[in-house]
A and B are shown apart, each in its own frame.
Chain A
Amino acid sequence: MQKPIATTRSATGIPTGRLAIWWVLASEVVIFGGLLASYLMFRLGHPEWANAAAVTNTWIGAFNTFVLLSSSFTAVLAHQAAENGDGKLAAKYLMMTIAGAVTFLGVKSFEWYSEISHGYTITTNGFWSFYYTAAGLHAAHVLAGAVIMLFIAADAAKGKELQRVEYIGIYWHFVDVVWIFLFPLLYIAK
């Protein structure tokens, strides 16, 4: 397949793929940033939300933070391996990162199941609306990242398109960073 010309040209001196992923993230900053900023202003204006926040389970949140931090670590090791030309090792680290994503989503499902079965749903009140919207949008990003990573890992194992390992890694670290802020906002601030 012929490559689009844009992949080989760069006015900024930054590889086009990497520039593109940063553009995606710049827009994601506004998406998540807008959501979290809205949550924050409502939370500060509504002291009664603390009653709802008291229900979220800090330990589950902390465990998932640990899972995402670890998956970020394996993602950056994959990047390092890809740069050394070791596609097989890069693919292995990417699969470990995917395992982290699956663990995260599994824990999240359990957590939501338990909360929903106790009657806390997205329509319960303002806090729970934000809780499910923000964590849900984030979980969708985890899922999307894991799926894309599967394709990139398959290529990397054959030593193809190794530069993509870095790009998916940059995206993955961003998903990690979003969770780093969601954790104190939804779980620690009681």
Chain B
Amino acid sequence: MSQHTEHKGERHGSHHPNYKAIYFTLLALLVVSVVGPFFGILWVTLITAFGIALVKANLVVQNFMHLRWEKRIMKWMLATSLVLMFLLFAGVAPDVMRHEGARWVNDAALAAVERGIAAPHHEGEAAAGEASGGAVTEAAAAAAAPGEQAFDAKGAFTTVCSTCHGTTGAGDGPGAGALNPKPANFGSGAFWEGKTDEELVKAIREGGASVGKSALMPAWGGLYNDAQAKALLAYIKTFKK
């Protein structure tokens, strides 16, 4: 189509496709990309999130930005930028995405992954991570390292847990709206029925999925050791009615 119209003279702008139809198509695609993840199937989420992003971007670029009626030199210009972006990715990604190779190991990155995913924490590794420019910043290391200091369970709950569970533990935090199933309501008697302390500490440290509950409850073992998770549980129990 662009081949045909390109030679029609300089007034490329006089092409006006049905903008309303394109706009509603974009909105429909937005709905699909939001609904996709609810199926909980990885490849469906990937297609509805990133595949649809490509389709939406293409619709906007071709029709709203009028690239399809633009001269070929413009397309080559943009293609060059995109190629440079992919070159950057291809050149750097192998070093960033892999943490060990045949003759090298990125200790800092490995330590950061380990810290982040419910693993026992060692202060030495955190220090090494900072020194060699690991992906984890001082604040995260500090949060992960409280060790011997007095642990402020209420503060931790307010900072981390309340995002979804709410400041009063009723499961109504600002992040709760987006979650399905909804975050646990600690005020409800039904929540506490038949649950052992052991199981609840495990849920805090290893995530909801580790005790057969929602995988939306992340694993916080990287932030809280066993004793801290127990202190958190003790605080959470004060919401029990």
Q: Do these two chains really belong together in a complex?
A: yes
Q: Show the binding face of A for B, using Cβ within 8 Å.
A: 12-14, 19, 22-23, 25-27, 29-30, 33-34, 37-38, 40-42, 44-51, 54-55, 57-59, 62, 65-66, 69-70, 72-73, 75-77, 79-80, 83, 114, 118-119, 121, 123-126, 129, 166, 169-170, 173-174, 176-177, 180-181, 183-184, 188-190
Query: A177 to B140, alpha carbons, bound, how many Å?
Result: 32
Contact B53 A183 (CB under 8 A): yes
| Chain B residues, CB < 8 A from A119 | 159-160
Binds A, one of B71-79, B145-153, B191-199, B226-234: B71-79
Q: What bracket does the count of chain B residues touching chain A fall in?
A: 35 or more
Using known A-B contacts A30-B85, A189-B49, determine if residue A126 contacts B135 with beta carbons closer than 8 Å: yes
The answer on a CB contact under 8 Å between A69 and B26 is yes
Give CA–CA (A178, B138) in the complex, Å. 30
Residue contact A180 to B60, C-beta cutoff 8 Å: yes
What's the dominant secondary structure at chain B's contact region?
helix
B105 within 8 A of A: no
Chain A residue at smallest Cβ distance from B96:
A41
Q: Does A80 contact B19, Cβ atoms closer than 8 Å? A: yes
List of B residues within 8 angstroms of A41 by Cβ: 89, 92-93, 96-97
* Interface of A (DSSP majority class): helix
Contact residues in B for A184 (Cβ distance below 8 Å): 33, 49-50, 52-53
With A26-B81, A30-B85, A176-B60 in contact, is A125–B135 under 8 Å at CB? yes
A69 and B219 within 8 A (CB): no
Verify if B30 is at the interface (C-beta below 8 Å from A): yes
Name the B residues within 8 Å of A76 (CB-CB). 19, 63-64
How long is the Cα–Cα vector from A11 to B116 in the complex, in angstroms?
56
Q: Judging by beta carbons under 8 Å apart, are B60 and A177 in contact?
A: yes
A50 and B93 within 8 A (CB): no
Say yes or no: B81 contacts A33, CB within 8 Å. yes
